[in-house]
């Protein structure tokens, strides 16, 4: 399948944000710790959620879709070895390490999947779980992790890894005593996981420097609504900017989007915020800037490819340095095929002012797919974009949402000949 996109129309209108992908995924794994029934609403309708459900089903989790949301029943979960096709389907499958260890005292994990953004080792996860008393063995890429008991400790992560913070939080729920986590990831989806854990009865506290989990608290059923997806919301806002239009996204708190909104302001975009919505209005001239992607509260790496497109469309060009995924440049060649001029040095890409035109390109990963769509909507002529499966991992109703903003984009059953 491929998207057929006719560019050159200013986008205008409003969309509402889907539920946050990167919050919903760890929350689904955290349901295993509850061993009861949890009602999750506002889950995004994306393939990563379906793949996670399939994986958790292997451990006895039962899912029922209701009008109110997804009912997750983990009452009868049991140890299992997840099939490699399930663990290899998402990066989030690595959250089995923390929660599986806690639930069963032992877990085996074949290599996790996820987008190819360069190296994605698990050494920080390993150090964190070993600190609680786990024994970690690796053979041919598969991990065998076990512990007769977990003990709360003071753990300082060497880097603010999102995944390692999730795994440590989940394992700490089962540890004797108190676990203090320093240098933890502060992304909005980690806050959302903490909100979920509190809703099911976990005792977790956050100070500016430390997360504390008191283990072995009884967890209970709850109903929980997942908040809006910041990266999805930002993608539509950036589409509005790229096409010189006006886009409003509702169901999203502006707070989490601050690094983007601040940058867009510097680029000459008018930004309006409300309690639960953000609007952007392009003002004719788009100036370039230099952006550095860092862990939260830095500029998010998940908006790096989209920002590169805006910089290519800007009057002065600019650069993106990605300190989180220093090799996240899978989109660059496709952007060049559309006329985007760039030069890469190490983890930095410099974009030069360019006129984008339609081309036949393929998305190499999820956010690259979003960025190339923005480029295509802003470009002259027609783009055929392959890689729908990547985009479907993280964006629900992707074509429909762009269409509702006036974008000329259609998902074709198979790619027609190049224009
Ligand atoms: N890292 C290590 N060792 C580790 C863990 C991480 O070296 O043990 C490195 C990674 O290789 C990477 C950096 O640290 O260079 C950041 O990794 P992190 O663990 O923070 O990211 P992640 O948990 O693998 C999540 C999101 C990503 C998002 C990053 C950064 C999920 C399922 N994935 O990945 O989301 O880019 O945090 O914010 O939550 C996406 O949604 O498109 C996506 C890729």
Q: Phi and psi of 408, rounded to 5°?
A: -95, 90
Determine contact, residues 247/238, Cβ cutoff 8 Å. no
Pocket test for ligand 1, best of 91, 170, 183, 396 (most atoms within 8 A of CB): 91
Cβ atoms < 10 Å from Cβ of 351? 25
**How high is the pLDDT of residue 115?**
76
Report the largest interatomic distance among the alpha carbons of the chain, rounded to a whole angstrom. Answer: 64
**How high is the pLDDT of residue 417?**
54
Q: Pick the residue whose CA is nearest to atom 32 on ligand 1.
A: 92
> What is the domain partition of the chain in residue ranges?
2-17+229-412, 21-225
Which ligand 1 atom lies nearest to the CA of residue 25?
A: 32
Cβ atoms < 10 Å from Cβ of 315? 11
Q: If you measure from the C-alpha of residue 268 to the centroid of ligand 1, how many angstroms do you get, rounded to a whole number?
A: 31
Give the DSSP per-residue string, 246-313: EEEEES--GGGGHHHHHHHHHTT-EEEEETTEEEEE--S-----EEEE-STTSB-GGGHHHHHHHHHH
- Cβ-based neighbours of 299, under 8 Å, separated by 6 or more: 259, 260, 263, 291, 292, 293, 307
> Quick check: bond before 217 cis, omega within 30?
no
Give the whole-angstrom CA distance, residue 283 versus residue 246. Answer: 9
Pocket test for ligand 1, best of 112, 115, 120 (most atoms within 8 A of CB): 120
Q: If you measure from the C-alpha of residue 7 to the centroid of ligand 1, how many angstroms do you get, rounded to a whole number?
A: 32
Q: Do domains 2-17+229-412 and 21-225 have the same CATH topology?
A: yes
CATH top-level class of 21-225: alpha beta
**How high is the pLDDT of residue 353?**
98
Q: If you measure from the C-alpha of residue 163 to the centroid of ligand 1, how many angstroms do you get, rounded to a whole number?
A: 6
Determine contact, residues 279/252, Cβ cutoff 8 Å. no
Q: What tens-digit pLDDT sequence spans the chain (419 residues)?
A: 899 999 999 999 999 999 999 999 999 999 999 999 999 999 999 999 999 999 999 999 999 999 999 999 999 999 999 999 999 889 999 999 999 999 999 999 998 887 788 888 999 999 999 999 999 999 888 999 999 999 999 999 999 999 999 999 999 999 999 999 999 999 999 999 999 999 999 999 999 899 999 999 999 999 999 999 999 999 999 999 999 999 999 999 999 999 999 999 999 999 999 999 999 999 889 999 999 999 999 999 999 999 999 999 999 999 999 999 999 999 999 999 999 999 999 999 999 999 999 999 999 999 999 999 999 999 999 999 999 999 999 999 999 999 999 999 999 986 555 54
Q: Pick the residue whose CA is nearest to atom 25 on ligand 1.
A: 162
Which ligand 1 atom lies nearest to the CA of residue 325?
A: 15
**How high is the pLDDT of residue 119?**
81
Q: Pick the residue whose CA is nearest to atom 19 on ligand 1.
A: 161
C-alpha angle 265-266-271 in degrees, rounded to nearest 5: 5
Q: Tell me the pTM.
A: 0.97
Distance from CA of residue 221 to its chain's centroid? 26
Which ligand 1 atom lies nearest to the CA of residue 91?
A: 32
**How high is the pLDDT of residue 118?**
81
**How high is the pLDDT of residue 113?**
80
**How high is the pLDDT of residue 321?**
98
Distance from CA of residue 297 to its chain's centroid? 15
Q: Say which DSSP state 189 is in.
A: H
- Return the residue matching tokens 């930095």: 348
Q: Which is it for strands 246-250 and 277-281: parallel, antiparallel or unpaired?
A: antiparallel
Cβ atoms < 10 Å from Cβ of 333? 13
Q: If you measure from the C-alpha of residue 155 to the centroid of ligand 1, how many angstroms do you get, rounded to a whole number?
A: 19
Q: Pick the residue whose CA is nearest to atom 9 on ligand 1.
A: 120
CATH top-level class of 2-17+229-412: alpha beta
- Tokens representing residue 232 in the block: 């999805």
Task: Check if 4 is active-site.
Answer: no
Q: What share of the chain is helix, strand, coil (3-state, %, to 5)?
A: 35, 25, 40
Q: Pick the residue whose CA is nearest to atom 6 on ligand 1.
A: 161
**How high is the pLDDT of residue 2?**
95
Catalytic residue among 4, 31, 103, 115: 115
Determine contact, residues 194/166, Cβ cutoff 8 Å. no
For the chain, the straight-line distance linking the first and the last C-alpha, in angstroms and rounded, comes to 16
Q: If you measure from the C-alpha of residue 324 to the centroid of ligand 1, how many angstroms do you get, rounded to a whole number?
A: 8
C-alpha angle 120-182-184 in degrees, rounded to nearest 5: 40
Cβ atoms < 10 Å from Cβ of 75? 12
Output the ligand 1 site: residues, CB below 6 A. Answer: 22, 25, 91-92, 115, 119-125, 159, 161-164, 185, 187, 301-302, 324-325, 366-367, 394
Q: If you measure from the C-alpha of residue 254 to the centroid of ligand 1, how many angstroms do you get, rounded to a whole number?
A: 23
């Amino acid at each position: 399948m491929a998207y057929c996109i006719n560019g050159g129309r200013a986008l205008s209108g409003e969309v509402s944000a889907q539920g946050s992908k990167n919050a919903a995924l760890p929350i689904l794994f955290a349901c295993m710790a509850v061993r009861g029934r949890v009602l999750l609403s506002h889950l995004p309708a994306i393939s990563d959620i379906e793949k996670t459900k399939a994986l958790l089903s292997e451990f006895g989790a039962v899912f029922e879709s209701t009008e109110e949301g997804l009912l997750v029943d983990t009452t009868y979960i049991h140890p299992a070895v997840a099939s490699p096709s399930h663990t290899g389907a998402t990066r989030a499958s690595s959250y089995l390490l923390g929660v599986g260890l806690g639930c069963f005292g032992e877990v085996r994990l074949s290599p996790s999947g996820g987008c190819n953004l360069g190296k994605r080792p698990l050494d920080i996860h390993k150090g964190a779980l070993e600190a609680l008393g786990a024994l970690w063995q690796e053979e041919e890429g598969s991990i065998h992790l076990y512990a007769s008991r977990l003990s709360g400790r003071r753990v300082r992560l060497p880097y603010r890894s999102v995944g390692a913070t999730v795994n440590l939080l989940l394992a700490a729920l089962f540890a004797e005593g108190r676990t203090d986590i320093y240098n933890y990831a502060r992304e909005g989806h980690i806050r959302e996981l903490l909100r979920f854990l509190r809703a099911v009865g976990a005792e977790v506290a956050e100070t500016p420097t430390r997360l504390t989990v008191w283990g072995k608290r009884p967890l209970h059923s709850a109903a929980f609504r997942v908040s809006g997806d910041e990266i999805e919301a930002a993608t539509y806002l950036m589409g509005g900017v790229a096409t010189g239009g006006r886009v409003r996204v509702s169901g999203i708190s502006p707070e989490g989007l601050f690094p983007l909104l601040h940058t867009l302001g510097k680029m000459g975009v008018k930004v309006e915020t409300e309690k639960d919505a953000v609007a952007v209005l392009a003002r004719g001239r788009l100036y370039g800037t230099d952006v550095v992607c860092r862990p939260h509260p830095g500029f998010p790496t998940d908006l790096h490819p989209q920002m590169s497109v805006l910089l290519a469309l800007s009057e002065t060009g600019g650069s993106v340095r990605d300190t989180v995924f220093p090799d996240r440049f899978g989109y660059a060649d496709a952007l060049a095929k559309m006329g985007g001029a760039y030069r890469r040095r190490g983890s930095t890409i410099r974009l030069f002012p360019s006129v984008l035109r339609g081309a036949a390109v393929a998305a190499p990963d999820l956010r690259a797919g979003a960025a190339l769509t923005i480029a295509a909507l802003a470009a002259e002529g027609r783009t055929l974009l392959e890689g729908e499966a990547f985009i479907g991992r993280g964006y629900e109703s992707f074509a429909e949402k762009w269409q509702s903003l006036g974008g000329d984009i259609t998902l074709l059953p198979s790619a027609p000949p190049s224009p």
